[in-house]
A and B are shown apart, each in its own frame.
Chain A
Amino acid sequence: GDSVTQMEGPVTLSEEAFLTINCTYTATGYPSLFWYVQYPGEGLQLLLKATKADDKGSNKGFEATYRKETTSFHLEKGSVQVSDSAVYFCALCNQAGTALIFGKGTTLSVSS
């Protein structure tokens, strides 16, 4: 079945460091891919999305490119801030289009 695998956390970085959070997926067909962010005690917020191969989603300095050949959707940011500390979830839409399948989440902690 469809699945999403994210790198294990926590990821600990200093402010202004470069961020990469790896995400790979297994799916039938060409699902849309998403990154969500969850700040402490809150629900999930959609961060960015890509709907087809080679699409690049971007928002708030974060980027991710839909790579069909490597079935990946890695999240990157050139210079992280303390306010980026949160849990990041990679997700894809299931084949039926009825629900999202989430990775287990990666905790990012940024220190000043």
Chain B
Amino acid sequence: SQTIHQWPATLVQPVGSPLSLECTVEGTSNPNLYWYRQAAGRGLQLLFYSIGIDQISSEVPQNLSASRPQDRQFILSSKKLLLSDSGFYLCAWSVMGHNQPQHFGDGTRLSIL
């Protein structure tokens, strides 16, 4: 069966520090991969999606970036965090193709001080 792992589960970082969140998927090949942010009391905002290695689309302008160095690995990064980057970050995967459901990791709670 397929599984998705995200880490760390929680992270507290000072403003201006770098960020690296990692997500890996097991049990499937060539998945679509996604990064979402969920601010407190709000819905999900799609940040990035990827349909293959080094194929990444950004949905919103921001100081975050994403990379996909391997087929089942998706990394969310920042060189200098802002207070507004606080939130709950979720990674998700789906099989390729239209109208497929997405399957989510357990999320990373990021607090910026």
Contact = CB atoms under 8 A, between A and B. Distances in A.
Given A93-B99, A93-B100, A98-B57, A43 B107 contact: yes
Nearest to A98: B49
B74 to A, nearest CB: 14
Interface in B87-110: 90, 92, 97-107, 109
Contacts of A17: none
B99 A97 contact: yes
Interface string B45-69: 0100101000001010000000000
A89 B32 contact: no
Given A42-B107, A43-B107, A99-B34, A104 B42 contact: yes
A100 interface: yes
- For chain A, the bracket of interface size reads 20 to 34
A93 B107 contact: no
Contacts of B103: 46
Contact of B106 (A43, A46, A51, A93): A43
Interface of B: 6, 32, 34, 42-44, 46, 49, 51, 57, 59, 90, 92, 97-107, 109
